[in-house]
Structure formats: structure tokens, C-alpha cells
Copies of this chain bind each other. A is one copy, B any other.
Amino acid sequence: MSNNKIIDLGSSEDPLVLDCGKSIGPIKTAFTTYGELNETKSNAILVCHALTGDQYVASEHPITKKDGWWSLLIGPEKSIDTNKYFVICPNVIGGCMGSTGPNEINPKTGKEYGLDFPVVTIGDMVKAQKLLIDSFGIEKLFSVIGGSMGGMLVLEWLSKFPSYVFSAIPIATTTNHSAQNIALNELARQAIMADPEWKSGNYNIENTKPVKGLSVARMAAHISYLSEQSLHEKFGRNLQNKNKIEFSFDADFQVESYLRHQGFKFVDRFDANSYLYITRAMDYFDLKAENNGSLIEAFKNTNSHILCASFTSDWLYPTSENKVIIKAFNALGLNVSFVEIETDNGHDSFLLDEPEFFQTIKGFLDATYKKL
């Protein structure tokens, strides 16, 4: 059962002004909540999703019918205990699960945006989240948490709305994409745009679907989410339902079959244009550049309690990238904890059953809640 809600925020008179200079108003935000907001509105935790995540963080996904992507972490008596905390998880703008994005109707034209949707940034996504938090009358979030792109959103909150953040948990993330990160995203975008069914972004209007392009994009991303070790342990050179190689281009190896499956099941739940917009936002994110090269400047007004986490086998946002952030926090004398989780599961670890990771989050939140 879905607890999804969609609300309009802002208005045509009071629109959201985007970093690109354009404005949108009202903007739709789709979100889920779990637990109850207490009277003093001091127990709210904002969960920020990653590139292909959505608001179904701890409840069944309406398309895949699978458990929420962080149901292992969030729920009654879990590490983020919804008997105690009020969890809010909005779909980012630019996304495709109900928030304003390229596959939504442009109220000015009555037609789907497609590539007319303005290029949004991580900053724009956070401005939209801020409107949602304001709509609840929350003046200070007890915590803001997210991994990967979700971690970028957390860092943006810390930089732009520091007084709204009592504590923060950026996980497996960075303050700016490396050339390799940009290259991987560009590969995905080119795969999508190479698909003639993409129709210059007008596939919905033209009643097509860039299934193959989006699928190849997802395969590329999947390779980057796993470590070499985890691929080796999961698949090695095992063959798929056969005893010997078949001298063909079918999926002889399990890893081939797995990737094809990951690609094709993804297109059922995700929108190709959203993939373009969100990867672009990630590539553009650069807290350092927008603060004259200084992360200390970026976080100068931050006074939050912070827990950073990274994973040893994550080569997409390696520990070294996370340490750059911690260095800035330390230089500012903030209350920062850092944990590097030893695991072979690569970048995907933040979504998997990693007991030490979950325990660390629980410990941090419970201890920090006492400091309120």
C-alpha cells in the first residue's frame, strides 16, 4: 500500500527560481512520510534519494512491488526508528515519480516538458525540498541523510540552509564529480540519446520508448556500482544455465545475463529524460567551485552534528573523496564522526544489508537525539 502524497509548492506568482535563471511555479513534490511528527516538530529526518531512487524509501514501490530501497534501515524499531522519528522522503525535482520533472505536464503549454524542462541542479532540488519542509512548519530537521547523490543533497543542505540541519549523514559521496564520474554519466547520456526511440526527448509524445538506450545506460551504471571483488564473488566466470560456452553472442556468462536483466527491468520504473537531467545535476554539482575553491567557505555557517560514511570497495565515490569533505568539517572544528565500512560490495553497499553501517547510523542518531 502506498503512502505517497503529491503537493503543489510555490505558485506562478512566487515560483522557484532555478540556478539556470528560469523559474517554475508551482512545483509538484511527491513524497512519503513514516512515523509521526512530534509536537515540537523536532523529530523529523529528511531522507534524500540517489540518482535512480525515489520517495518509496520504506514502503512498497508501486511499479516493482518491491520493498522500499531502505526498508532494511528505516521502520519501526529499525536503525531509523519510525516509532521515534518522523521520516520524510521526497522525490527530487527532475525525477520521474510524481515530482516536477521532464515527463510532467508543463502548465504553461499543457504539454509534457520533455527537453523543454529547464536543467536543474542539486541546489534546485534542495530549494524544492526546503519548500516541502517549510510546508510542515519544520524549522530544524533533526537529521538529513542520504547516500551517493543523496549525500550531495545532504551537503547542499549543510551549505545553504545550515540552521535547518541539527545533524547530517552524508554517505559515499563527494562535493564534486571527478572526470571519471562525469565520463561515466556522459556515457550513459550518450547511450540514451543514441537510441532513435528517444526522439530528441519526445518519446512520450511520439509514443515510443528508448528502452535499449536506457538499458545500456543502466548496465554501465551497474558496473560502476559494484566492485571487481563483488562481481567476482557473485559471478566469477560462471556460465548461465549451461555447462560449456556456446560460441554465440547469447548470454553465456551469468554476469552478462545479470546485466541484461538489470538493464531491462530498470526501464519499467525509470524515465530516460529524468536520467539525463539528474546525471547532469550531479555532474554540475561543485560546492568547491561555487565557493572560490574553498570547502571551508562552503560550510562556514554549518554547526551540525555530522556522521560521514564510506565503503572500502567503493570506486565511484571512494573513501579518499569522502575524506576531502571530512577534512573541511574538521578544519571548521565541527562535531564530525567518520566511519569507513570494510566491505566488498562496492558503491552499492549503502543500499545493502551492512549491519555495521546500520548500527553506526542508529548509534549516531540516538546519541545525537539526546543533544537536542
Contacts and interface: CB of A to CB of B under 8 A. Distances in A.
Contacts of A220: 187, 220
B178 A245 contact: no
B180 A249 contact: no
A196 interface: yes
B194 A237 contact: no
Given A249-B189, A260-B190, A179 B232 contact: yes
Interface stretch (A281-289, A294-302, A332-340, A353-361): A281-289
A178 B238 CA distance: 10
A184 interface: yes
A347 to B, nearest CB: 13
B178 A190 contact: no
B20 A256 contact: no
22 contacts: A119-B248, A119-B249, A178-B228, A179-B228, A179-B236, A179-B237, A179-B255, A180-B231, A183-B231, A183-B255, A186-B253, A186-B256, A187-B259, A189-B249, A190-B212, A190-B215, A190-B216, A190-B260, A194-B194, A196-B196, A237-B286, A252-B283
Contacts of A186: 219, 251, 253, 255-256, 259-260
Most buried by B among A178, A190, A276: A190
Nearest to A120: B247
A176 interface: yes
Contact of A249 (B193, B247, B286): B193
Interface in A1-44: 19-20
Interface size classification for chain A? 35 or more
A201 B315 CA distance: 35
Given A187-B223, A220-B220, A237 B176 contact: yes
Interface in A233-286: 234-237, 245, 247-249, 251-253, 255-256, 259-260, 263, 276, 280, 283-284, 286
Contacts of A72: none
A259 B191 CA distance: 12
